[in-house]
Structure 1
Amino acid sequence: MILLRGRLFGYLRTPFWDYRPLPPMARRLLIILVGVTLLLDSIVRATNGSTTSVVSAIVTTTSTVSLALFAWRPPIATLVLSVAAITAAITGTTDSLLVGVVVMGLAAFTCSATVAAVYAVVWVAWLVAIVGRPDSTFQPLGAVIIAFLSLLSLIIGLTIRRQYERAQVLTTQLEEAEREVAEQLRHERDLIADELHDIVAHEITIVALHAAVLERTDDTQTRSKSQTAIREAAVQALTDIRRVLGMVRGEEALSPERIPSPDGIPGTLAAVTRELSDAGITVTSDVASDLRLPSTSLVALTRVMRESATNVLKHATGARNVHISLTVERGWAHLEFSDDSPPARTAGLPTSGYGIMRLQERFRVFGGSFSAEREPRGWVVSASLPLEF
């Protein structure tokens, strides 16, 4: 209702020359109607024994032909017909009154409120002039009927316009709703894909690496440590998969602000340190113990740490040392994750590049920066994020 009321006020404020074009089918029907009317009028004039004044013939023909202009430029058609109505009022021509009735509805549907009002005033003046002429043979009852038909035509035109605008409003609302649903579905698919990637790329990587260790070593302590790591990673993967299934079934809310670790940065750092240490990699860190970050920044930075640790395990098997640095300076959080891996040494596990791509997208949306490059000292992942978005 509010939108329709707004449409009404918008119609009243429509610029003078603005118009609503007729639908293609209505254009074709209008042109056919004009052509048939001109043909029948010519036949009647040719076979009618009575004489018709030249002025009346010109006004009638002009009015009929001008109807066709509604197929292209309704305001021009309305103004031309207004001039024809003024001429008819001056000369006392009544032959085009029925055409004027049709024009009333067309003008109300297609033209601005100002153009339609101009035509309505001219048409009323025409009808009054015809009835008030001393030599007029036009009966008052006929004038009342013509006036009623004109009012009916005006109401029909406005009603069709309102229904047309209502249909446009509903179409717009439907398109917006479809876009919102599609965007929500895309957003949820991305969130689920992120969760599955974290599970597959992280936990399964740990399982694969420690399974390879079991194949290569007979040391009881090493095998026990690898078996423990495999069991913990498998249990965690199953837990995460159940949680993702709960998201899909709607049992858990899909929220980008969900913290992947209950302990935030400290918990994620401890988990990453333990996993890399189990692989024989020494981890040093420079992270303030009292660091406080917004939830969105926390999610983004912990994902960088987990993704970087996974990539070290998968693609930097020669690494012996990893350094993690997280600082906050002038409203920005800066994270650097570096290793000392030699070139061209990987664990032979498949890679998709999905994790890096999603991190780049996430940091770009938040107005930050993300890069993962090989430097002389090894791989360096750098991420910067503003704390206020």
Structure 2
Amino acid sequence: MLRSPRFWEPRALHPVVRLLLIVIIGVLLVVAVGFVVESGEFTRYDLLAGVFYLGLAAFAWHPMTAAFIVMVISSVGVVFTGSGGDLLELAISLGLVAVTCAPWVIITHVVLLGMLTAYVAVESTTLAAGGVYGIAGIATIAFLVGVAFRVVAARETILVAERARVERDLEAIAREDQERIADELHDGIAHDLTLILFHARALPRQPDEVARHLSLTTIEESAEQALQSIQSLLSLMRDTTTEAPPHHEARYNGGVVDAVTSLAELLDDAGIVTQVSVPDSSVGATSAAERVLIETAIEGVTNIIKHAPKSKAASISVHTHPDVVELVIANTGPRSSARSNAASGGRGLRRARQRLVQIGGQLESGPEDEGWALRATVRSAAE
């Protein structure tokens, strides 16, 4: 700690020490006034003493200014009076300088004290035998006391900063947990509920038994999946040791190509003819990038079913380029559907954009001539 530059930065006195200093200076001024009243005269020594005490009091507000006031007054007192008492006061004040001032001020104070002590020892007889050693001892004790107070203040500053850091970390963890739960609610449960709502509405209008059976099966599977997700979330919130709910890509086995194919089947089941275009081999993206693309695809397909259920057609394509992998989801339908879908840029698209940005990707979405399109790009693993 003593080697740290921040430890030796100028600092203010602790509020308790400041109050104690003001009380002590007040007592000394009262005593000095009492001596003046008792003697019946006001000498230059009394003036120097009063200014010196006021200089010490200034450490409570402006330590740097106070240090130089003390040094100047003590120098004047020693040079013009040859008083050893001024040396003693200068030695004691070294403690306040050590607590509050920068190293160069402390060194200046020590050098001045040494020079004045040598001057008095040579030019005057006011110092008793061994007085030089006494001044040196008092100055050393004052300096060590000052450093001790600085250590206490520095430790308090460190503890306050550490507590603030811990509070920020806890807040960040809490926000991360809230975002994770919100993502699970939106990306998973809301996705399942959207399918349930769509097929429940379409069930009375299904033309044949096969279509009715398909809607009922989708409702049942989606309800079971939503129930499992809710149970996982409840366990997570009740017990922090419980593992987090599984990512939604587990519902779509394999990588982004398999997920896109499964999502296209959902659109087909919803009566929206969907074209799929995917590469024959791996897309060449990292597992994290593929996971984000899958989550983005889920969001895009859910928005089509939710906001544009009367779309004439849709398309999902995955394109691989030398440096990026691109996912494009588009639907075609009445202009009213496009405007409705345009109003869906809420939490889902915002979170999808955030996830892509975190891995160096980007997301663009907006209305087109005949519908709505979403384009997501991520860097390829080979880049």
Shorter-chain TM-score: which interval? 0.7 to 0.9
The equivalent position to 1:177 in structure 2, one of 166, 176, 182, is 166
Paired residue type of 1:277: D
**TM-score normalised to structure 2 length:** 0.85
For residues 139 and 6 of structure 1, do their structure 2 counterparts lie closer, same or farther at Cα, with a shift above 3 Å needed? Answer: closer
Q: Provide the C-alpha distance between the structure 2 equivalents of 1:217 and 1:295, rounded to a whole number of angstroms.
A: 39
Counterpart contact for 2:199–2:215, Cα < 8 Å = yes
Is 1:109 equivalent to 2:99 in the alignment?
yes
Asked if the contact 2:189–2:230 (Cα under 8 Å) also holds between the matched residues in 1, the reply is no
Give the match for residue 275 of structure 1. Answer: 266
Which residue does 1:85 correspond to in 2? 74
Deviations 1:328-370 (A, max 9, x none): 3242222210111213359x99979221221233234444332
User: In structure 2, which of residues 113, 120, 124 is the aligned counterpart of residue 123 of structure 1?
Assistant: 113
Opposite residue 159 of structure 1, the aligned amino acid is: A
1:227-376 superposed matches below 5 A: 227-245=216-234, 247-248=236-237, 249=239, 250-253=241-244, 261-290=252-281, 291-345=283-337, 353-376=346-369
**Which of the numbers 193, 201, 216 marks the counterpart of 1:204?**
193
Partner of 1:43: 34
CA-atom RMSD in angstroms: 3.2
**How many residue pairs get matched?**
376
Alignment partner, residue 215 of structure 1: 204
User: 1:275-306: per-residue Cα shift (whole Å, max 9, x none)?
Assistant: 11111122112211211211221122111211
What is the CA distance between 1:308 and its match in structure 2? 1.1
| CA deviation string 1:237-276 (max 9, x = no partner) | 2333344445543332589998664412123112212211
Shift of 1:96: 3.2
Q: Secondary structure, in 3 states, of the residue corresponding to 1:280?
A: coil
Contact kept, 8 Å, 2:257 with 2:318, in 1: the verdict is no
| Cα displacement (A) at 1:141 | 6.4
- Separation in 1 of the partners of 2:77 and 2:144? 24
> Residue 21 of structure 1: SS of its match in structure 2?
coil
Report the CA distance between 1:307 and its aligned residue: 1.0
Q: 1:155 to 1:369 in 2, by over 3 A?
A: same
Q: SS in structure 1 opposite 2:310?
A: coil
Q: 1:76 to 1:139 in 2, by over 3 A?
A: same
Match of 2:12 in 1: 21
Give how far 1:142 is off.
Answer: 6.4
**Alpha carbons of 1:124 and 1:257: their partners in 2 closer, same or farther (altered >3 Å)?**
farther
- AA partner of residue 48 (structure 1): S
Distance 2:246 2:60 in 1: 53
Contact 2:188 2:248 in 1 (8 A): no
Pair 1:299–1:223, CA change in 2 (3 A):
same
SS in 2 for 1:318: coil
Unaligned runs of 5+ in 2: none
- Equivalent position amino acid for 1:182 in 2: E
Q: Is the 8 A contact 2:322 2:380 kept in 1?
A: no
Question: Equivalents in 2 of 1:25, 1:260: separation in Å?
Answer: 63
CA distance in 2, matches of 1:292, 1:315: 32
Q: Is the 8 A contact 2:236 2:244 kept in 1?
A: yes
CA separation of 1:276 and 1:255: change in aligned 2, threshold 3 A: closer
In structure 2, what is the Cα distance between the partners aligned to 1:225 and 1:256?
A: 25
TM-superposed deviation, 1:107: 0.2
Instruction: Answer yes or no: is 1:62 the counterpart of 2:55.
Output: no
Structure 1 residue 162 displacement after superposition: 0.7
Greater shift, 187-196 or 34-43, is seen at 34-43
Which residue identity lines up with residue 93 of structure 1 in the other structure?
S
Paired-residue identity, %: 26
User: What TM-score, normalized to structure 1?
Assistant: 0.84
Residue-by-residue CA offset, 1:204-227 (whole Å, 9 max, x unaligned)? 111112222223347322211111
C-alpha distance in 2 between matches for 1:5 and 1:198: 53
Change (3 A) 1:342 1:306: same
Matches within 5 A, 1:187-202: 187-202=176-191
